[in-house]
Amino acid sequence: DGGITQSPKYLFRKEGQNVTLSCEQNLNHDAMYWYRQDPGQGLRLIYYSQIVNDFQKGDIAEGYSVSREKKESFPLTVTSAQKNPTAFYLCASTAEWQGNTGELFFGEGSRLTVL
C-alpha cells in the first residue's frame, strides 16, 4: 500500500536531548513537509522540501533541523534548542505541482512528550 509512514508513534524525551522523528513515503512524491500541531491550533509548518538535498524553513523552524538525502525520506530532528517541543508532529507529501491535484498526504503523526 502506498502511503507515508511516521515513526515512532509515541516518543518521550528528557529535557536537553535531541530526538529524530522518521518520515518515509513510497508515493514517489517530490515535496515533503513537517507540521507541528498543538491543541486548539492549526497546523504550523516547520520545514519543507521540494527536491532531494534541498529544503526551506517554514514558519516555526527554530530548534528543528531536517535532511533530505533520499526522495523517500525526510527525517526531523527536534533539538534541545526547541523551547517547547511537546506536540503532535505530522509529516506530509505531495506530488510535483504540474498536473497533480495538490492533495497533501499525511502520515499518522508522532506524539512527542518532553518529561
Partner 1 sequence: QQQVKQSPQSLIVQKGGISIINCAYENTAFDYFPWYQQFPGKGPALLIAIRPDVSEKKEGRFTISFNKSAKQFSLHIMDSQPGDSATYFCAASLYNFNKFYFGSGTKLNVKP
**Contacting residues toward partner 1, per CB under 8 A:** 4, 31, 33, 35, 40-45, 48, 50, 58, 90, 92, 94, 97, 100-104, 106-109
Q: Is 92 helix (H, G, I), strand (E, B) or coil?
A: strand
54-57 and 31-37 strand pairing? unpaired
Smallest separation (angstroms) from partner 1 to the CB of 63:
20
- List the end-to-end C-alpha distance of the chain, in Å, as a whole number: 35
Which residues does 94 contact at the CB level (< 8 Å), separation at least 6?
A: 29, 30, 31, 33, 100, 102, 103, 104, 105
Nearer to partner 1, 12 or 81 (CB): 12
Nearer to partner 1, 79 or 95 (CB): 95
Smallest separation (angstroms) from partner 1 to the CB of 107:
5
Smallest separation (angstroms) from partner 1 to the CB of 80:
27
